[in-house]
Amino acid sequence: MRFVSIRRHFHYFSMVAIISCCYIMLLRTSSKNDAEDIRDQPEQQLVDVKNDAIIELKDEIRVLPYLTPAGKVEIQQPVADVSSKKIDRIENLPAMGAPSTHPNRTLNWLDLWSNDTFCNQFTVHLLEENSVQPRALVSFPGSGNTWLRMLLMGVTGLYVDTIYPGDELFISKAGGTYELNKDCNCSLLQKTHDVSLFSVIYNMAMANKSTEKRIHQEIDQFRGDGILVIRNPFKAILSYRNFAFGGNMAGLAPVEAFSQGLEPVRIGNRKISTWDQFISRSVASWEMLATVWIRGLKRGGVVYYEKLRRDTGPQLLQMAEMLGISNVNKDRLDCVLRHNQDNTFKRSESGPKNYPKNPFTESQHLLILKSIQSVQMALKERGLDPLPVEMYDFYTPMYQYGHWNG
C-alpha cells in the first residue's frame, strides 16, 4: 500500500518537475530574444526643443510636432516610419497652338446650338496638322463620351475627333465637304472606348505573355495623355445594353434584353447574350478600363459623369484646365450651358424605362460593388477624388449589402 502511494507521488512530482523545466527554458529563450532585439535597436535620444521634439536615431534625425510638456520623454520603442508612399500625380496637358482659321477647316455645324442666332457665331476649328500629339477622351461605352465631345467643342472651339470610322467628313464654312485624316494630329482629343481591353476580357481563358502588352496597347499609343470619363457602372451597363440593341446614342433595347432568363435573347434573327452574361463581361471591362487608365495616365485627368451632369459649368472649366486651356470664353460657356440638353447624342433620362425597377440580382449587384471598390483603390493610389457613389443609382454600400432590398 505504501509502495503504491510512493509511486503515485513520484509520478506527480516528476510531472511537476518536467513542466517547471520547460517553463524555465521558455523564459530563458524569451529573455535571450528580448536582449537580442534590444541590441539590434538603434540608439535613441529624445530632446525637447521649444515646440518640436527631435528624435535622433543612429543614422537619421526626425523632427516631430510637439505633443508633450517640456522635459525628457522616455520612449520604449523606436519611432515607426509613417511616411506614406509617394503619390504619382497626373499633370495637366500642355497648351496647344492656335487653331486654323481657314474656312475649309472650320466646322459649319454644331448640334448644341440649334437655331440660336447668338450662339451660332461661335465656330469649331481644327488645329494645324501635326501641331499636337494625340490625346484620348476615353470611357466605357454608355458613359456620355459623345455628349461630352459636343460640350468640349462648344466651350473650346476646337474639334474633338474619334478613332472610329464615320466622322471623317464634315461640312466646312467654305461650303464644301472636308475629309478629316485620322492621323492629322489636329484635334483637341480623340474619342475611344479602348476596345483592346474588351478582347482581353472576352479571351481571358487564353491569356498569355502578350496579354499584358494588349492591356496597355492603347494607353501607350496615347503616351498616357488623355481624359478618362467614369460613369456609375450600373447606369453605364444599362446604357451600353440599349446601345447594343438600339444601334445609336438614343436607341432603346426591347424589354426582353433585361430579363434574367438563362437562354440567349432572340430579337428577329439576332441571338444576343443573356443579361447576366452581358453584366459579367461589361463590369469586368468597366473595371479594367478604369483601373488601367487611372494607373497609366501621365497628363490629363479623370472626370465623373454624374458631377458633369450636375455641375456642368464648373466641371467644364476644370476640364479646360486639365487640357492646358487657361482662358474660356464666357459667352461660349453660357451657350453650352443653355443648350447642353438639346443635342441628340444622349439618351433621355426622363420618361418610361425599358427595364425593371431593379434590373440587377443580388449576385450581380455584389459583382458590380466589388468592381467599384477596385476602382476606388486605384483612384486613391493616384491621389484622386473618389467615385461619387452617393450620386449612384442602384448603389448600396458593401457593409449594408446583407440588408439590401433593391
Query: Stretch 261-279: mean pLDDT, rounded?
Result: 83
Record the pTM.
0.74
Q: Which grid coordinates are listed for 208? A: 498569355
**What pLDDT is attached to residue 206?**
54
Q: Give the number of other CB atoms < 10 A from CB of residue 216.
A: 16
Whether the per-residue pLDDT at 7 is higher than 80: the answer is no
Q: Using one digit for the tens of pLDDT, what is the confidence trace for 77-119?
A: 333 343 456 788 999 999 888 888 888 888 876 667 777 889 9
Q: Using one digit for the tens of pLDDT, what is the confidence trace for 132-152?
A: 999 999 999 999 999 999 999
Q: How many residues in total does the chain contain?
A: 406
Whether the per-residue pLDDT at 257 is higher than 90: the answer is no
Q: Using one digit for the tens of pLDDT, what is the confidence trace for 208-237?
A: 656 777 888 999 999 999 999 999 999 999
Report d(CA 293, CA 366) in Å as an integer.
23
For cell 444576343, what's the residue?
272
**What pLDDT is attached to residue 174?**
73
Whether the per-residue pLDDT at 25 is higher than 70: the answer is no
Q: Give the number of other CB atoms < 10 A from CB of residue 205.
A: 5
Whether the per-residue pLDDT at 306 is higher than 50: the answer is yes
Q: Which residues of 221-249 are buried (b: 16+ CB within 10 A; e: fewer)?
A: ebebbbbbbbbbbbbbbbbbbbbbbbeeb
Query: Stretch 25-47: mean pLDDT, rounded?
Result: 41
**What pLDDT is attached to residue 224?**
96
Q: Are the C-beta atoms of 30 and 36 separated by less than 8 Å? A: no
Q: DSSP readout, 290-301?
A: HHHHHHH--EEE
Kindly state the percentage of the chain with pLDDT values over 70.
69
Whether the per-residue pLDDT at 249 is higher than 90: the answer is no
Report d(CA 43, CA 55) in Å as an integer.
10
Helix (H, G, I), strand (E, B) or coil at 106: strand
Closest CA to 241 of 357, 148, 347: 347
Query: Stretch 117-134: mean pLDDT, rounded?
Result: 89
Confidence at 401, pLDDT banded by 50, 70, 90: low
Q: Using one digit for the tens of pLDDT, what is the confidence trace for 57-75?
A: 333 333 333 333 333 333 3
Distances (CA, A) of 297 to 199, 223, 265, 289, 305: 21, 8, 38, 12, 18
Report d(CA 340, CA 401) in Å as an integer.
36
SS3 content of the chain, % helix, strand, coil (to 5): 45, 15, 40
Whether the per-residue pLDDT at 15 is higher than 70: the answer is no
Distances (CA, A) of 9 to 1, 14, 17, 235, 313: 13, 8, 12, 79, 91
**What pLDDT is attached to residue 364?**
95
**What is the residue-averaged pLDDT of the chain?**
77
**What pLDDT is attached to residue 223?**
96
| Residue 95 exposed, middle or buried by CB count within 10 Å (0-12, 13-18, 19+) | exposed
**What pLDDT is attached to residue 406?**
44
